Amino acid sequence: MSNIERTLSIIKPDAVERNLDNEIKDIFKSQGFSILKEKKIQLEKFEAEKFYKIHETKPFYDDLCSYLASGPIVVMVLEKEDAVLGNRELMGATNPKEAKEGTIRKKYGISIDKNSVHGSDSLENAKIEIDFFFKD
Ligand code: UDP
Ligand code: MG
């Protein structure tokens, strides 16, 4: 049975700043993801805080939100069979030092905070995150 899903992907400021957005988009496309929607935006700090509210009690929360709002990002809705897990696998581990060969974070990530991409971690969160950026 086919299980087509949509997930939210963000190319984070460290990658956009290095002009890696087209290269990263090509990786998604070459792995069979359709980019249904995309936009390049810069968040206000309060918007980043809202997006990452799930992490509000973590010690890295404030730095994380400042960072996400520090420059332009590219936000995309990706679609594919089992897209949520597939995107997480293609991204690699949160810490680029632990990410497997062939993953986006292994290839482009600078550090655990500047790890180049975000991806929804569940189908439920994917829906919430897609609505956050693309609710008409
Ligand atoms: N993060 C960080 N320090 C940490 C853990 C996470 O700066 O010790 C940042 C990192 O950029 C990560 C984001 O917070 O991508 C969200 O953390 P999460 O655990 O959800 O990782 P992800 O789902 O992005 O792999
Ligand atoms: Mg996460």
Residues spanned by the domain of 116: 4-43+72-133
The reply to whether 55 falls in a domain is no
Number of domains, the chain: 1
Q: 123 CB less than 6 Å from ligand 1? A: no
Flag whether 22 is in a domain: yes
Residue 61 in any domain: the answer is no
Whole-Å CA distances, 8 to 40, 50, 67, 79: 14, 16, 18, 9
**Which protein residue's CA is at the shortest distance from atom 1 of ligand 1?**
113
CA 107 to chain centre: 15
Q: Does some domain include residue 53?
A: no
Structure confidence by residue, pLDDT tens digits, 38-97: 999 999 999 999 999 999 999 999 999 999 999 999 999 999 999 999 999 999 999 999
Q: What is the domain-level CATH number for residue 8?
A: 3.30.70.141
Look at residue 87 and tell me if it is in a domain: yes
Q: Beta partners for 11? A: 74, 117
Confirm or reject: Cβ of 93 under 6 Å from ligand 1.
Answer: no
Given a cut of 80, whether residue 136 has pLDDT beyond it is: no
